[in-house]
Amino acid sequence: MGSGAGTFSAAFVSRAPRLTAVLLDLPAPLAVARGLLQRHPHRRRLAFKEANYIADGFGEEEYDLILISNVTRVEDEKTNRLLVRKAHRALKPGGRLVIHDYVLEPDRTAPKFAALMSLHVLLFTGKGRAYTAAEYAGWMRKEGFGRISRIPICRGSLHPSLAVVGRKD
């Protein structure tokens, strides 16, 4: 969801032989993804779906996993809660939602890069910001996700991020 250039989807299908991926995004980013991935060795397992993640639905009980990566920081809390609700509806029972982004500590001042990104995005979009893992977990719980966990990405780097994972119960 909000697939951009399709980097994650391409990596996932390369590592998992039976996996298929649907890249959902607006027409312009999908055109870039199609161009970049046209010669990918596993291109047959990549599908492209043009949609506006705010205005359009994701379907009902269609997916085992939905990845929302580097999207939440450009949206306000109301929109992000809507995305979590849509993801819950689109996941099969037992499916997982993964939200990946720069995540702030509870005091909202660290990690430094996430705090600076939060300020930058707020100034750029007028609505977005970085969120805490507790905020993501709260949105997930409210929509019926359980078994919520956190997976650090690039811990110790200048640009650490976090994946918050919830299971549709």
pTM over 0.85? The answer is yes
> What residue ranges do the domains of the chain occupy?
1-51, 64-168
Q: What is the structure's pLDDT at 155?
A: 83
Residue numbers in the chain where pLDDT is lower than 70: none
Place of tokens 């994972």: 165
Using an 8 Å Cβ cutoff, are 46 and 8 in contact?
no
Burial zone of 50 (CB within 10 Å; 0-12 exposed, 13-18 middle, 19+ buried): middle
Using an 8 Å Cβ cutoff, are 138 and 63 in contact?
no
Q: What is the structure's pLDDT at 157?
A: 86
Percent of the chain with pLDDT over 90: 94
Q: What is the structure's pLDDT at 158?
A: 84
> What is the Cα–Cα distance from 73 to 107, expressed in whole angstroms?
17
Region 64-168: CATH code? 3.40.50.150
The runs of H, that is alpha helices, within 38-163 are 77-90, 112-125, 133-142
Tens-digit pLDDT profile for residues 64-86 = 999 999 999 999 999 999 999 99
Helix axes 133-142, 77-90, angle to 10 degrees: 50
Dihedral sign for Cα atoms in the order 89, 106, 73, 21: negative
Q: What is the structure's pLDDT at 103?
A: 96
